[in-house]
Structure 1
Amino acid sequence: MAKKPNTQGSGPSQRQLRVGELIRHALAEMLARGEIHDDVLAKHVVTVPEVRLSPDLKLATCYIMPLGGQDIAAVLKALDANKRYIRGEIAHRVNLKYAPDVRFRQDESFDEAARIDALLESEAVRRDTLRQPLRIDQNEQNPDHDDE
């Protein structure tokens, strides 16, 4: 009997990553081509930076962000309203045994990157990075050298 791999504490499997990327491409294509008929979605350019799947591939969490981060609540609501259609289209485009349920979340990676950039530009970090490097004593640098 084959041993079940230990998934505790490890990241997503290769299959989860591959299927997530296929779903991301399918959803991004649907949004770019205007195939989801919704007035709110028609007014926004929506990016899909990531899709994460549950280990059993039955739940796909799609992280989305409208261009400029504008009207995120309205875009999420429009996607939720069209969830059934989106799931059906994903089932046709991505060849899976079961079409995963889809849910939509705001992608916060852009906000997190901006927060980290602000931290790196802060005065405290700048002061730490401008300090003079430590000087290494010549004897410590060459341990084989014997003092005479």
Structure 2
Amino acid sequence: MWGMAKKSNRDGKAPTQRMLRVGEQFRRILSEVLQRGDVHDPELNRMSITVGEVRMSPDLSIATAFILPLGGDGKEEALAAMRRNRYEIRHLVVKGGTMKFAPELRFEIDGTFDQMDATRALLAEDHVRQDIDD
């Protein structure tokens, strides 16, 4: 799940250890903020949202959080709520950590589980299973 080291940033280079460390710290604190319901938005606080990964830009000025509502339903509503509250969330995350500055916060839907389901479905196909078993 944490295959970030193999993913590249916009420059085509693998993320640095610093990018990975800051991204994981950001992810952990963001998850805690959402779990505690610290954001002043009743709609967002009714949702249970998982933060799968946070990718930092090379200069650490942008944090992109990959989120997914529990059960996978209401993705667009969750994404809209997170984006609507991004300034408050950013403040809460930075306040809860040791970061010296507040990176711009962006949200995207985490497609990891969809990719895993597609891979499982592909591996379950008869002709693929037959190739694997041989």
Q: Same fold (TM over 0.5)?
A: yes
1:129 & 1:85 partners in 2: Cα distance? 50
Match of 1:100 among 77, 100, 103: 103
Q: Is the 2:33–2:93 Cα contact (8 Å) retained in structure 1?
A: no
Residue 97 of structure 1 aligns to a residue in which SS? Answer: coil
The structure having more radius of gyration, on CA atoms, is 1
Match of 2:71 among 63, 68, 73: 68
SS in 2 for 1:105: strand
The equivalent residue for 1:80 is: 83
Taking the aligned partners of 2:104 and 2:11, their CA distance within structure 1 comes to 23
Match status 1:42 vs 2:58: no
Preserved CA contact (<8 Å) 1:91 1:99: yes
Among residues 8, 11, 15, which one is paired with 2:18 in the alignment?
15
**1:25-36 equivalence runs, <5 A:** 25-36=28-39
Q: Which residue of 2 aligns with 1:143?
A: none
Q: 1:36 deviation in Å?
A: 1.2
Cα distance between partner residues in 2 of 1:49 and 1:88: 20
Contact 2:67 2:110 in 1 (8 A): yes
Q: Write the distance in 1 (CA, Å) between the matches of 2:11 and 2:89.
A: 31
**In structure 2, how many angstroms separate the alpha carbons of the residues matched to 1:32 and 1:98?**
23
The one-letter code of the counterpart of 1:96 is M
Distance (whole Å) between structure 1 residues aligned to residue 14 and residue 78 of structure 2: 29
CA distance in 2, matches of 1:61, 1:86: 13
In structure 2, list runs of 5 or more residues that go unmatched: 1-9
CA contact (8 A) 1:60 1:100 kept: yes
Structure 2 Cα separation of the partners of residues 58 and 109 of structure 1 = 24
1:9 to partner: Cα distance: 3.5
Aligned length: 125
For residues 42 and 97 of structure 1, do their structure 2 counterparts lie closer, same or farther at Cα, with a shift above 3 Å needed? closer
Task: Tell me whether 1:118 sits opposite 2:121 in the alignment.
Answer: yes
Higher percent of residues as helix: 2
Give the Cα separation in 1 of the matches to 2:28 and 2:86: 16
Structure 1 residues 95, 117: CA separation in 2 closer, same or farther (over 3 Å shift)? same
Please state how far the C-alpha of 1:42 moved relative to its aligned partner. 2.1
SS in 1 for 2:50: strand
* Cα distance in structure 2, aligned partners of 1:123 and 1:62: 37
